[in-house]
């Protein structure tokens, strides 16, 4: 009986042991399945692309900006200094070229440390383990993650060579201050290329690896020096550098001053504009992390000149206003001193403070023929205001809108010598449409006629006037444009109809709402500068319209072409009508309101614009190759009428900028198309001039429309 019990008990024991073994095997299998399920396939390493910087280049191939969330650049191992490679191996994994992905000694040492301290810590990881963790796994300090890290490291070692692993590690490692990889770190801490690094500088970067924050030379220079010297000593002890190299490297000074941005970088309004174009197209991840190469139309040298000159000139205007308010300012820092003086002056009322905004400006340059945008200055400071006054602000163009009216007149058979009415006119609105009084009367008579409508809520009366209040009776179409005659403009639109003018504006490229009212002739509608400049450029381009564009091509990080600009042209107006208008606009610069630009001594067609109460002041000017628009005013529509600033004022600083931009451009005149003839006329009568007429003027006409009488 006792033997039976022993037999049965031994059998139970064996069964239990077998069951336990089976459960252990099954549990181990489940556990290993769980472990392996969290490991990505190693072939993904071949396709792995770390977050890269997308680079923006100007038209001449100059790097002008980088889109990046992480400051990172990928470089081959051959371009990474040997001292930097050796330092990393010496400090982080001296057996790197011997192990199969993990170090048993390192793991045991780390495990003992964890048991002693009672918590999991970093340590004992080879370069390959660090790489597997950095690329595929989380940084969480758990035993399961450590096991996965070792398994993945072995797979990486099996699939890649040691140089390949080291190259990816040096491009992946985080070295603080947003710098990923050694190339970005060299720029971040020393503002150097990798090839320029000294042994001491390479050692400092290596020292950052365990804790970039603690060993940051700008934050903890003492710790950074100690850590750098430790790296150098270890490199010396392992035979990577000589005694002389060690002493020399330890004597090197640390970088003392962290690189800081000196104000706005040039071209930020342009950069933000292309971000708005590309981000919806390629997505945020690709633009900011994909390493795109973006080749733009921007000319960064011209952009810098435009920003500097515009800011300087507008600051001078700020100083004039400040002087009028009795504020003493420093000409080198007008904005800051005006602000502080206004805040500190007890005699300055709150109303005066509110009424003193900073004068704003905008400037844009484009290629007349292709539409390539070379310069975009959306305001005085991108850091102060990201609102782009070139593309986002809709302002009244004032008299700079008149070329559209004049083109409509040319299409209706007018010539530059046609006499047009510069006489007072009254318009009234009957509740449905505007009408003009068909009478030749002085302002007094028109005022009397208007009395019958005063007090009636169904009628509105508008009596436009020329700037300065003077009218010249009947003058030629050319002279009316040169003198920017408001009365001629409204009489023209009354004669040919607002719809014709709107059709011209649409054909030229304006898309903004344009009201069918007589005041449209004076530029009361609101439009964007970029559209306005592109539309007026159509006339300088012989009637051929091209849209603005900003990007020549985009490549991915492997150089594969993603997109490339293909120019498109549209014939909007005849070459003959376009030339007649441009020829008249040249007179605006030679004899009219835009004479400030005449000092450039080249063929320039232009038009000034000043809106009511001097809230907007424009100048748009064009050569056969380059068109540019300038605007100044206030974001809150503050009037500066008391300073008598006009579009002619804007033309002066437009000219200062264009003097630099046009200095290398051929001094050519606008091409005369076929079908154009020239005749000498009397500029007052528009008739043919006699041979002895001292005031005769050579005017352009479409063949068959020349005057025939003297």
pLDDT attached to residue 34: 44
pLDDT at 402: 96
Q: Would you state the pLDDT for residue 462?
A: 74
pLDDT in tens, 285-324: 899 888 999 999 999 999 999 999 999 999 998 888 877 7
Give the model's pLDDT for residue 263.
56
Q: For residue 549, give the DSSP letter.
A: B
The domain 305-394+527-663 is placed in CATH, from the list 3.30.360.10, 3.30.70.20, 3.90.700.10, 3.40.710.10, at 3.40.710.10
Q: Of the residues 66, 92, 352, 552, which is catalytic?
A: 92
Delimiting residues of CATH 1.10.3810.10 domain(s) in the chain = 70-250
Residues 19, 34: Cα–Cα separation, whole Å: 22
Q: What is the pLDDT of residue 174?
A: 85
Write down the pLDDT at residue 312: 94
Q: Check residue 164 and give its pLDDT.
A: 85
Catalytic, 613? Answer no
Q: Where are the alpha helices (DSSP H) in 509-574?
A: 529-540
Q: How far apart are CA 159 and CA 45, in angstroms?
A: 9
Catalytic residue (choose from 399, 471, 484, 648):
399
Six-digit token string for 5: 């019990």
Q: For residue 335, how many C-alpha atoms fall within 13 Å in the half-sphere facing its CB?
A: 12
- DSSP H stretches of helix in 616-667: 647-661
Whose structure tokens read 């437009």? 654
Tell me whether strands 54-57 and 293-296 are parallel, antiparallel or unpaired.
parallel
Contacts of 91 (CB under 8 A, 6+ apart): 206, 207, 209, 231, 234
3-class secondary-structure state, position 630: strand
Give 13-68 pLDDT, tens digit per residue.
Answer: 565 556 556 555 555 444 445 444 444 554 444 555 566 789 999 999 999 999 88
Kindly write down the DSSP assignment for every residue of 376-431, as one continuous string: EE-SS-TTT----TTTT-EE--GGGGHHHHHHHHHHTT--TT-EEEES---EEE-S
Residue 426 has a pLDDT of 76
Pick the CATH number of 70-250 from 1.20.1060.10, 1.10.3720.10, 2.102.10.10, 1.10.3810.10: 1.10.3810.10
What is the location of CATH 3.40.710.10 in the chain? 305-394+527-663
Residues 6+ apart with CB under 8 A from 575: 542, 543, 673, 674, 675
Give me the residue label for tokens 């450039």. Answer: 600
Closest of 401, 441, 419 to residue 533, by C-alpha: 401
- Which residues in the chain land under pLDDT 70? 1-51, 70-72, 100-124, 133-149, 151, 153, 259-263, 328-357, 430-431, 435, 437-459
Supply the pLDDT for residue 124: 59
Write down the mean pLDDT value for the chain: 83
Task: Quote the pLDDT of residue 624.
Answer: 98
How many Cα atoms are found within 13 Å in the side-chain-facing hemisphere of 188? Answer: 24
The question of whether 92 is a catalytic residue gets the answer: yes
């Amino acid at each position: 009986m006792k033997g039976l019990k022993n037999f049965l008990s031994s059998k139970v024991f064996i069964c239990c042991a077998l069951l336990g073994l089976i459960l252990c095997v099954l549990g181990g299998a489940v556990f290993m399945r769980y472990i392996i399920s969290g490991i990505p396939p190693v072939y993904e390493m071949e396709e792995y692309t770390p977050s890269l910087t997308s680079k923006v280049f100007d038209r001449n191939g100059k790097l002008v900006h980088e889109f990046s969330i992480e400051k990172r650049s990928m470089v081959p191992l051959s371009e990474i200094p040997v001292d930097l490679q050796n330092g990393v191996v010496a400090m982080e994994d001296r057996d790197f070229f011997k192990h199969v992905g993990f170090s048993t000694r390192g793991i045991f040492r780390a495990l003992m440390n964890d048991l002693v301290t009672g918590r999991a810590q970093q340590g004992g990881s080879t370069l390959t383990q660090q790489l597997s963790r950095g690329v595929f796994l989380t940084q969480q300090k758990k035993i399961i993650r450590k096991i996965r890290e070792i398994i993945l490291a072995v797979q990486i070692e099996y699939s890649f060579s040691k140089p390949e692993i080291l190259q990816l590690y040096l491009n992946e490692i985080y070295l603080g201050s947003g710098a990923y990889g050694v190339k970005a770190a060299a720029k971040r801490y020393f503002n150097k290329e990798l090839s320029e690094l000294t042994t001491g500088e390479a050692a400092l970067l290596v020292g950052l690896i365990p804790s970039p924050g603690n060993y940051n030379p700008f934050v903890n220079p003492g710790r950074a020096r100690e850590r750098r010297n430790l790296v150098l000593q270890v490199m010396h002890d392992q035979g990577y550098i000589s005694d002389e190299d060690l002493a020399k490297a330890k004597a090197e000074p640390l970088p003392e001053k962290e690189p800081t941005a000196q104000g706005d970088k040039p071209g930020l309004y342009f950069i933000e504009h292309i971000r708005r174009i590309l981000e919806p197209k390629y997505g945020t991840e690709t633009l900011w992390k994909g390493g795109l190469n973006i080749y733009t139309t921007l000319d960064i040298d011209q952009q810098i000149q435009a920003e500097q000159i515009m800011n300087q000139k507008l600051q001078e205007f700020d100083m004039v206003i400040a002087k009028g308010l009795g504020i003493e300012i420093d000409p080198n820092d007008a904005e800051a001193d005006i602000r502080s003086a206004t805040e500190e002056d007890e005699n300055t009322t709150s109303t005066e403070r509110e009424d003193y905004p900073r004068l704003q400006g905008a400037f844009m340059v484009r290629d007349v023929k292709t539409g390539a945008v070379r310069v975009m200055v959306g305001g005085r400071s991108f850091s102060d205001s990201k609102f782009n006054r070139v593309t986002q602000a809709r302002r009244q163009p004032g008299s700079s809108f008149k070329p559209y009216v004049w083109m409509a007149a040319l299409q209706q058979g007018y010539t530059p010598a046609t006499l047009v009415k510069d006489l007072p006119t009254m318009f009234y609105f009957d509740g449905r449409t505007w009408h003009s009084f068909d009478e030749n009367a002085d302002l007094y008579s028109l005022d009397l006629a208007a009395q019958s409508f005063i007090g009636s809520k169904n009628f509105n009366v508008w009596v436009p006037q020329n700037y300065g209040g003077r009218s010249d009776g009947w003058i030629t179409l050319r002279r009316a444009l040169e003198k920017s005659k408001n009365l001629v403009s409204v009489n023209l639109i009354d004669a040919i109809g607002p719809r014709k003018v709107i059709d011209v504006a649409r054909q030229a490229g304006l898309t903004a709402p344009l009201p069918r009212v007589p005041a449209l002739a004076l530029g009361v509608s609101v439009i964007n500068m970029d559209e306005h400049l592109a539309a007026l450029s159509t006339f300088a381009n012989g009637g051929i319209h091209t849209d603005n564009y900003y990007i020549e091509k985009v490549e991915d990080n492997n150089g594969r072409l993603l997109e490339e600009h293909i120019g498109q042209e549209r014939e909007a107006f005849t070459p003959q009508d376009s030339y007649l208008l441009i020829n008249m606009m040249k007179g605006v610069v030679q004899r009219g309101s835009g004479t400030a630009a005449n000092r450039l001594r080249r063929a320039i067609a232009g038009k000034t614009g000043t809106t009511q109460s001097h809230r907007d002041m424009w100048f748009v000017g064009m050569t056969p190759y380059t068109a540019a628009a300038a605007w100044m005013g206030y974001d809150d529509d503050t009037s500066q009428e008391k300073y008598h600033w006009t579009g002619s004022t804007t033309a002066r600083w437009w000219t200062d900028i264009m003097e630099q931009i046009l200095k290398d451009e051929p001094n050519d005149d606008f091409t005369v198309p076929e079908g154009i003839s020239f005749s000498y006329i009397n500029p007052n009568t528009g008739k043919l001039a006699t041979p002895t007429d001292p005031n005769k003027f050579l005017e352009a006409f479409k063949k068959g429309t020349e005057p025939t009488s003297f």
